[in-house]
Amino acid sequence: MLGFPPVQSSPIHLSMAILALELGVLLSVADHNMDSFARNMSQLKPYYIMSEMNNNVSGISYGISTHKCLILGLNLMYLLVENRLSEFHSELEFISSTEASSPFISFPINVERQLMVGLYDEVLASASHVPDPSYILFIDPLLQTVRDSIADCLEVSYSQMNLTDAVGMMKFDNEEQLLEYIHVFREDWILEKNIICFQPSTTGSKLSDIPSMKFMERTLSYATELERII
C-alpha cells in the first residue's frame, strides 16, 4: 500500500509493517530484482517517516528499526547505479548526521563524491570493501558505469591509444578483460595490432603523439567534471 500509514497505528503494528517491508527489500536484493527493490522501498519510506514523526512527538521509541541504515544505504546505492543523482541528494536531506556516520550510509556517500571528481581508482578500491554483502548487487553495474564514463572520455579526447595504456586507463586487470569489454560494449572501436582506434584517423598521428599518462588522467578528470557541470 502506497502512502502514509494510519496515524493511529500502534508501535507494535508499525514496527511489524516496517520489518515486513525491510525483509521485502532484502529479499529483492538477494533475488537481484531491481524492480521489486524499488517497489518495496517506495512502500517502506513513508513508514520510516511516520516512525520519525511519532518519535519526535511522543519522545518514545515508536517503530524503531535496527536495519534502517542498511536499507537507506542500499537505496542510495540503487540511486547511484540508476544515475538518479538529484534523488540521491534529496534522500540525504532526510538522513540524520548520526545515520550518515554509519558505514552503511557513509559508503555510498563517499562513492558518489569519488565519482563526481573522477577518482575512479578510489571507486574501484571502495568496491572491494563493501560494508555488507548485500551491496555487491550494485557494485558490478557501478563499475560498468565507471568504465563507460572513462570510455566516453577517451572517445572524445583521443583518436587512438595503445592497448596496454587503455587497460590501465579503463581499470582492467589485463588485456583480455578489455578486449571482452570492447567486443560487448564498444563494437565501433577498431583494433589494429596493439592500437585501439576510437575513430578513423585522418591526421596520421602516431602513438608517440599521445600525451603522457599523467596528462591523460588530468584531461579525463577535466572532461568528467565539465560533463557533470553541464
Query: Could you tell me the domains of the chain?
Result: 11-137 (1.25.40.990), 144-229 (1.25.40.990)
Cell of residue 8, nine digits: 493511529
pLDDT tier at 212, thresholds 50, 70, 90: very low
What pLDDT, on a 0 to 100 scale, did the predictor assign at position 83? 83
Residue pair 173/143 in contact (Cβ under 8 Å)? The answer is no
Residues 6 or more apart in contact with residue 113 via CB below 8 angstroms? none
pLDDT by residue (tens digit) across 104-142?
999 999 999 988 887 877 887 788 889 999 999 898 888
Asked if 158 and 224 touch (Cβ cutoff 8 Å), the reply is no
* Residues 178-182, mean pLDDT to the nearest whole number: 93
Query: What pLDDT was estimated at residue 2?
Result: 46
Question: Does 59 have pLDDT greater than 70?
Answer: no
pLDDT at 134: 93
Q: Return the amino acid letter for 118.
A: G
C-alpha cell at 122: 578510489
Mean pLDDT to the nearest integer, 69-95: 93
What pLDDT, on a 0 to 100 scale, did the predictor assign at position 57? 55
7 has a pLDDT exceeding 80 = no
- Per-residue pLDDT band for 77 (boundaries 50, 70, 90) equals very high
